[in-house]
Amino acid sequence: MSIEIQNITKRFPGYTALDNISLKVATGELIALLGPSGCGKTTLLRIIAGLETADVGSIILENRDTTNLPARSKNVGFVFQHYALFRRLNVFDNVAFGLTVKPASERPSKQDIRDRVMHLLKLVQMDWAAKRYPSQLSGGQRQRVALARALAVNPKVLLLDEPFSALDAKVRQELRRWLRKLHDDIHVTSIFVTHDQEEALELADRIVVINKGKIEQEGTPQEVYDHPANSFVYNFLGNVNVFHGRVRNGKVVLGQPLPDERRELNGHEVKTGQAFIRPHDIGISKIRNGNDHPGVIRDIRLTGSQITLELESAGFDTPIEAEISRETWRNLELSKGEEVYITLDKARVFTGDFEI
Amino acid sequence: MQQRQNHTASPSRTPAKNDPLAVQAVLIGLTLLFFAGFIFMPLALVFSQALSKGWQLYIDAIREPVALEAVKLTLLTASIVVPINAVFGVTAAWAISKFSFKGKTLLVSLLDLPFAVSPVIAGLIFVLLLGSRTPFGSWLGDHGIKIIFATPGIVIATLFITFPFVARELIPLMESQGREEEEAAITLGAGGWRLFRMITLPNIGWGLMYGMVLCTARSIGEFGAVSVVSGHIRGMTNTIPLHVEILYSEYNYTASFAVASILVFLALVTIGVKTALEQRLEGSHNTRH
Amino acid sequence: MHPFSKRQRRILPGFGLSMGYTVFYLSAIVLVPLSTIVISTIGIEPERFLAAVSSPRVLASYRLSLSSAFFAAIFDAGAGFLTAWTLTRYRFPGRRFLDAFVDLPFALPTAVAGICFATLYSPATLPGQVLSRFGIELANTPAGIVVALIFIGFPFVVRTVQPVIAELETEIEEAAQSLGASRWQTFRKILFPHLFPALLTGVTLAFARSIGEYGSVIFIAGNLPFKTEIAPLMIMSKLDQFDYDGASAVAFVLLLISFIMLLVLNGVQRWQQKAYR
C-alpha cells in the first residue's frame, strides 16, 4: 500500500508544525521520520492516521484520497509512544478489540477472531500472556502487544510513534532488530517516528530528516549519513566536529582566517561557512605531509572498540575530536601531550549557498 | 469538598530525619485531642442521647410513620438526583477532558458555582423561580403542578446542591488518563458508543462510583436548601434531616438523636466506602513515567 | 469564514452532544436559577434595597457571619496543618483510622452536626458545664458559632495541605540539615514557606464555605437578634415572613461576598499552582 503525502501544512497557535510537506512512500517500505523533538514529525504521523487534521494538503493511500476520512475508517495501524493499551482489557481482548468492533456483517466469527489473535500473539511472542493485563507487563512486552493490536485489523499501513523511546537501552536494541525482522516477514508499509539517529539508521529503508516542519533530506541511511545535504543533517546524524571554514579559490581552508585573508574576504573571493568532519574521518600521523595541521593530544579516552583523542591545534578555537581504531593507536604509540599531525581532508564546508 | 481529594501520603516513604520523639508525641497528642473534641465526642453523643431512654424508645422513634415517611422521601430524592447528576458528570467530564475549546476554564469554574453558594440561597433561588407567587410558578400551579413546598422542589434543590460532585471527580481523573486509549480505539475502527462503553467507562468506573458516593451522601444530608423549599409539611415533605430538626425544636431530644443516628450510620458507611474507593482510585490515575 | 474551517473537525466523537448537554443542564439547574436573585434584586427600588441590606440587624448578621468564619478559618489553619502534618509524617497506631475520619464533616449532615454541638455545649450536659466553670460559654454565643464552623472547615485545610506534605522531598530537608540548619530552622525557613500556598488555599476554602453555612450553626447559635443571627438565617426569617424582596436583597449581598471569595480563591489557587510547578 503506497502513501502519498501532498503539500501538508499544519499551523498551531504561535508556530507552524508542518510547512508544505510532500512525501511518497512505496508499498512495503519502512520509512523513518527523523528529527529533533518538536520538529513536527509526530504531527505528520497523526495527520496520516486521521488523529489530527491538516490545514492544507491531502493524504493519498493507494490512489485514494483519505484526507477527509474519519480516523475509524482509515484502516491505519497506529502504535502509540506510550502504547495506549486498554488498561481494563486483558492482552487477548486488547488485540481482539479491532475485530470485535467491526460491524456485524464484516465481523469474523468468534473462532476466527480467536485464531487470528493467537496467531498475532505468537508472532510477537506474547501468546503466553493472553490472559494478563497491561499493568502486569514490562514496557517491551506492552509495545509488542500494541503492535499485535495494530496489526490485527490488517491495516493498509502501520504507523509507529517513537516506538522505542520509553524503553531502556538494551530492550530497545533487541526490539529494534526484532521489528526489522518482523517487517521483512510481513512487509506492511510502515512509517515510524524517532529522534534517535541510530535507530533510524539501523531500522529504516529510507530516512526522512525533518526540522522545523520542513524536510531537510530524504534518502537511504547511507545517503543521508555519508552525503548530508546540509549542515543541519550533518549535525543531527552522528558525531561531528564543526569548525569555522571557508572556501578560497575553490579550496577548503579551515580554522580562523589569517590576517592577510581578511582583505580577500572583503573582495568576495573567500566564502566563510561551517566545516564538518566526522571524528573517524580525521587522519592522525606522526609525520608531516604538507596539507595537515600540527596539534597536541590533550586527552585519550577509550570508548568501547574505538579510541577517542582530544586534540588542540593552533587556528582552531575548539578542541578537535578524532576517533581511531585500537590498532592504529597501538601502532602509533600515542600518549598524552604528544605532538601529532592532523589531516582534515574529508571536511566539508557549507557556506549557505554552496558546498565543497 | 472544593479541593480534589487527593489521597493519602504514601506510607512507604519516611521523612529524612524523624522529628524528635518528644515533639512527635506532643503533636500527635494535640491531634488526638482535637479529634476527641471535634470528631469523636459529637459522634458518641448522638448514640448516647439516642439510647438514653432505652432501646424501646429508640426503635419507636425510628419506626414512627412520620419518620419512615421522611426516610422514604430522602431515599426517593437520592435515587432521582444521583443518576441525573452522574449522567451529567460523565457528559461534562467527557467534553471538558477530551477536547480543547475556548472558554474551558470559565466552564470549569461555573461547574463549581453551587459549592460557593450558601445552601439557604440555593433554596431561595428556586422559590424565586418556581414559587406560587412568581409568574412561572403560578402558571404551573394553574396546571396543577406544585413544585415549591412539595417533593419536586426538594429534588430540584438537591440537584443544584449536588450538581458538581461527579464532574469534579471525573475531570481530573480523565485528564490524567489522556485521550490516547480513545484514539487507539478509533484507529482500530470503534465508533463513539462502543468506544465509550468498552474503553472510557471501565477506565473511570471507580472515579464515577466515588463521585456518586459523595453525591449520595450530600443529597441525603442536605438541610439548608431543602429546608427552604420544603415548607415543613410533616409526613409530606420532610426529609430525614428536616425531621431531625423538627423533633429537636419540639424538645423531643431522644427521638431527634435516634433519627439522627440513622444519618450518622450512613455517614460512617460513606467514610468507609470512600476510603476503600480511594485506594482503588489511585490505580486509575495514569502512572506512566 | 476561515478557508479551511471545514477541516477543523474533532477527532474523538461526541463533542457537540456532550458540550450541548453540559451547557444546557448547567443553565437549567444553576445559571438560570441563580440569575433570579439578580433579576429580583434589580426589581426592588433602590431605597428599599438599601433599607433591607443596611438595617442594623442585617448588618450585624453580615458582621457575625464574616467574623466567625474568619476566626474559625484561623483556628482550622492551625488544627488542619497539625493534623495533616502528624497524619502524613508520623507513624502511630490508629493513623489510618483518624485519616478516614477527617472526612466526617463532609459526610455528616450539617443538621446532625448542629444538634450535636448545641447539645454538647448546652448547660445541661457535662462538656458544657465543664467549660462554663472555666468561664467559657458556647451555647447561644458567637464562640459557639465559631466551634461549629471549625468543624465544618477542618477537612478543607487537611485535604489541601496533606498531599503537599506527602510530596515534600526528603532531599530538601537533608540538604538544609547538611548545611547546618537545625530542625526548627529547616521547618521555619524551608518547609513552611513551601507549604504555605497550600495552607492558604485550604483556609480560603474553609472560610468561603463557612460564610454561607447554615445547618450546623443555627442550633448552637440560639439566633438572638443582633447577637447570634447569621446572614443565611436572616434570609430564612425574611422568607418565613414572605418578604421575598428582603430575602433577595440580603441574599444578593451574601452572594456577592461569595463571588468575591471565589475570585480570591482563584487567585490563591493560581498562586499555589505556580508555587508547585
What residue segments make up the domains of chain C, in order of their start?
68-275
3-state SS, residue C103? coil
Taking residues A66-75, report their average pLDDT: 87
C-alpha cell at position C253: 449581598
The larger pLDDT score, comparing residue A55 to residue B4, is at: A55
Residue A38's pLDDT band, with cuts at 50, 70 and 90, is confident
**Binary contact (C258, B244; C-beta < 8 A):** no
Q: What subunits touch chain B, counting only 3 or more CB pairs under 8 A?
A: A, C
Provide the phi-psi class of A267: left if phi over 0, else alpha when psi is between -120 and 50, else beta.
Answer: alpha
Least confident piece of the model among A22-26, A93-97, B233-237, C59-63: B233-237
The residue type of A151 is L
The DSSP 8-state label assigned to residue C27 in this structure reads I
> Which residues, at least 6 apart from C80, have a Cβ–Cβ distance to it below 8 Å?
C153, C154, C155, C156, C157, C158, C161, C199, C202, C203, C206
Residue C153's pLDDT band, with cuts at 50, 70 and 90, is very high
Interaxial angle between packed helices A110-123 and A139-152, expressed in degrees from 0 to 180 and rounded to the nearest 10: 140
At B227-250, the pLDDT tens digits run 999 876 666 788 999 999 999 999
C-alpha cell at position A153: 485489523
Residue A220's pLDDT band, with cuts at 50, 70 and 90, is very high
Q: What is the per-residue pLDDT for C254?
A: 93
User: What phi and psi, each to the nearest 5 degrees, are found at residue A342?
Assistant: -110, 125
C-alpha cell at position A255: 580554522
Determine which of C7, C9, C10, C15 to mutate to test the interface with A (most A C-beta atoms within 10 Å).
C7
Residues in a beta bridge with A58:
A6
Residue C145's pLDDT band, with cuts at 50, 70 and 90, is very high
Separation CA B281–CA C60 (nearest Å): 45
Q: Determine the residue of chain C that is closest to B19 in CA distance.
A: C183
Restricting to B residues 38-67, those with a Cβ less than 8 Å away from any Cβ of C are: 38-43, 45-46, 49
Q: What mean pLDDT is reported for chain A?
A: 86
Least confident piece of the model among A271-275, A318-322, B160-164: A271-275
CATH architecture entry for C68-275: Orthogonal Bundle (1.10)
Separation CA A175–CA A187 (nearest Å): 17
Q: Name the one residue in this structure whose C-alpha cell is 438526583.
A: B81
Continuous segment of H or E residues that includes residue C264:
helix C244-275
Q: Determine the residue of chain A that is closest to C4 in CA distance.
A: A55
At B139-195, the pLDDT tens digits run 888 888 888 888 999 999 999 999 999 999 999 999 999 999 999 999 999 988 999
Instruction: Identify which of C142, C144, C150, C106 has the alpha carbon closest to the alpha carbon of residue C127.
Output: C144
Separation CA B193–CA B189 (nearest Å): 12
Residue A248's pLDDT band, with cuts at 50, 70 and 90, is low
Task: Answer yes or no: is pLDDT of A264 > 60.
Answer: no
Minimum distance, in Å, between the CA of residue B260 and any CA atom of chain C: 6
Q: What is the per-residue pLDDT for C7?
A: 45
The pTM score is 0.86
Chain B residues near residue C214 by CB distance under 8 angstroms? 118-120, 223-224, 227
Provide the phi-psi class of A250: left if phi over 0, else alpha when psi is between -120 and 50, else beta.
Answer: left
Minimum distance, in Å, between the CA of residue B263 and any CA atom of chain C: 7
**Binary contact (A87, B186; C-beta < 8 A):** no
- Interchain contact A86–B (C-beta under 8 A): yes
Minimum distance, in Å, between the CA of residue C13 and any CA atom of chain A: 10
- Interchain contact A95–B (C-beta under 8 A): no
Maximum separation of any 2 CA atoms in chain C, in Å:
81
Instruction: Identify which of B173, B169, B147 has the alpha carbon closest to the alpha carbon of residue B158.
Output: B147
Determine which of C17, C22, C179, C276 to mutate to test the interface with B (most B C-beta atoms within 10 Å).
C22
Q: Determine the residue of chain C that is closest to A67 in CA distance.
A: C7
User: What phi and psi, each to the nearest 5 degrees, are found at residue C198?
Assistant: -65, -40
Please provide the DSSP assignment of C197-234 as one string: HHHHHHHHHHHHHHHH--HHHHHHHTT-TTTS--HHHH
Chain B residues near residue C106 by CB distance under 8 angstroms? 1, 214, 217
Taking residues C177-192, report their average pLDDT: 84
The residue type of C189 is K
Q: What is the per-residue pLDDT for A319?
A: 85
Interaxial angle between packed helices B104-111 and B165-177, expressed in degrees from 0 to 180 and rounded to the nearest 10: 140
Instruction: Identify which of B200, B176, B175 has the alpha carbon closest to the alpha carbon of residue B186.
Output: B200
Q: What is the per-residue pLDDT for A315?
A: 75
Spell out the SS3 assignment of chain B. Answer: CCCCCCCCCCCCCCCCCCCCHHHHHHHHHHHHHHHHHHHHHHHHHHHHHHCCCHHHHHHHHHHCHHHHHHHHHHHHHHHHHHHHHHHHHHHHHHHHHHCCCCCHHHHHHHHCHHHHCCHHHHHHHHHHHHCCCCHHHHHHHHCCCCCCCCHHHHHHHHHHHCCCHHHHHHHHHHHHHCCHHHHHHHHCCCCHHHHHHHHHHHHHHHHHHHHHHHHHHHHHHCCHHHHHHHCCCCCCCCCHHHHHHHHHHCCCHHHHHHHHHHHHHHHHHHHHHHHHHHHHHHHHCCCCC
Residue B2's pLDDT band, with cuts at 50, 70 and 90, is very low
Residue A327's pLDDT band, with cuts at 50, 70 and 90, is confident
Q: What is the per-residue pLDDT for B145?
A: 85
Restricting to B residues 92-131, those with a Cβ less than 8 Å away from any Cβ of C are: 92, 94-96, 98-99, 101, 107, 109-121, 124-129, 131
Q: What is the per-residue pLDDT for B26?
A: 93
Minimum distance, in Å, between the CA of residue A25 and any CA atom of chain B: 20
Q: What is the per-residue pLDDT for A250?
A: 60
Q: What is the per-residue pLDDT for A356?
A: 47
3-state SS, residue A239? coil
**Binary contact (B187, A149; C-beta < 8 A):** no
Taking residues B27-56, report their average pLDDT: 92
Task: Answer yes or no: is pLDDT of C27 > 80.
Answer: yes
Taking residues B258-264, report their average pLDDT: 94
**E strands within chain A?**
3-12, 15-25, 30-34, 56-61, 64-65, 76-79, 157-161, 189-194, 206-211, 214-219, 241-248, 251-254, 270-277, 283-285, 293-303, 306-312, 320-325, 339-343, 348-350
For residues C89, C95, C97 and C102, what is the CA-based torsion angle, rounded to 10 degrees?
-40
**Binary contact (B120, C214; C-beta < 8 A):** yes
Chain B residues near residue C183 by CB distance under 8 angstroms? 17, 19-20
The residue type of A57 is G
CATH topology of domain B54-284: MetI-like fold (1.10.3720)
Q: What is the per-residue pLDDT for A252?
A: 63
Residue B13's pLDDT band, with cuts at 50, 70 and 90, is very low
C-alpha cell at position C198: 497550600
Q: What is the per-residue pLDDT for A265?
A: 46
Chain C residues near residue A54 by CB distance under 8 angstroms? 7
The larger pLDDT score, comparing residue C2 to residue A240, is at: A240
Domain range summary for chain B, segments of one domain joined by +? 19-50, 54-284
Residues in a beta bridge with A159:
A78, A191
- Interchain contact C276–B (C-beta under 8 A): no
At B85-135, the pLDDT tens digits run 999 999 999 999 999 899 998 999 899 899 889 999 999 999 999 888 888
Interaxial angle between packed helices C231-240 and C244-275, expressed in degrees from 0 to 180 and rounded to the nearest 10: 150
Q: What percent of chain B has pLDDT over 70?
A: 91
Residue A268's pLDDT band, with cuts at 50, 70 and 90, is low
Instruction: Identify which of C234, C111, C115, C226 has the alpha carbon closest to the alpha carbon of residue B120.
Output: C234
Taking residues C144-161, report their average pLDDT: 95
Q: What is the per-residue pLDDT for B233?
A: 64
Chain A residues near residue C7 by CB distance under 8 angstroms? 53-55, 68
The larger pLDDT score, comparing residue B17 to residue A21, is at: A21
Q: How many CB pairs under 8 A join B and C?
A: 302
Q: What is the per-residue pLDDT for B232?
A: 66
Q: What is the per-residue pLDDT for B1?
A: 37
C-alpha cell at position B30: 494535640
Query: Burial, A333: exposed, middle or buried (Cβ in 10 Å; 0-12, 13-18, 19+)?
Result: exposed
Minimum distance, in Å, between the CA of residue C12 and any CA atom of chain A: 8
Q: What is the per-residue pLDDT for B131?
A: 85
Minimum distance, in Å, between the CA of residue B112 and any CA atom of chain A: 29
Residue B9's pLDDT band, with cuts at 50, 70 and 90, is very low
Q: Determine the residue of chain A that is closest to C7 in CA distance.
A: A53
Chain C residues near residue A56 by CB distance under 8 angstroms? 4
Task: Answer yes or no: is pLDDT of C1 > 50.
Answer: no
Restricting to B residues 137-176, those with a Cβ less than 8 Å away from any Cβ of C are: 156, 159-160, 163
Neighbouring CB atoms inside 10 A of A26's CB total 12
**E strands within A35-79?**
56-61, 64-65, 76-79
Task: Answer yes or no: is pLDDT of C92 > 80.
Answer: yes
The answer to whether the CB of A188 falls within 8 A of the CB of A61 is: no
Chain C residues near residue B133 by CB distance under 8 angstroms? 244
Q: What is the per-residue pLDDT for B146?
A: 85
Separation CA B177–CA B97 (nearest Å): 9
User: What phi and psi, each to the nearest 5 degrees, are found at residue C189?
Assistant: -100, -25
Alpha-carbon distances, residue C210 vs B204, C79, C213 (angstroms): 32, 16, 5
Residue A178's pLDDT band, with cuts at 50, 70 and 90, is confident
Q: Determine the residue of chain A that is closest to B194 in CA distance.
A: A101
Nearest by CB to C18, from B28, B94, B214: name it: B94
- Interchain contact A334–B (C-beta under 8 A): no
Minimum distance, in Å, between the CA of residue A142 and any CA atom of chain C: 24
Q: Name the one residue in this structure whose C-alpha cell is 586527552.
A: A299
Q: What is the per-residue pLDDT for B286?
A: 63
Determine which of A87, A116, A138 to mutate to test the interface with B (most B C-beta atoms within 10 Å).
A87
Q: Show which residues on chain B lie within 8 Å of chain A, measured between beta carbons.
A: 180-181, 183-191, 194, 198-199, 202-203, 205, 283, 288
**Torsion over CA: B217, B221, B224, B230 (sign):** positive
Neighbouring CB atoms inside 10 A of B22's CB total 8
Q: What is the per-residue pLDDT for B4?
A: 40
> Which residues, at least 6 apart from C46, have a Cβ–Cβ distance to it below 8 Å?
none
Restricting to C residues 87-106, those with a Cβ less than 8 Å away from any Cβ of B are: 87-92, 96, 98-101, 103-104, 106
The answer to whether the CB of C184 falls within 8 A of the CB of C83 is: no
3-state SS, residue A55? coil
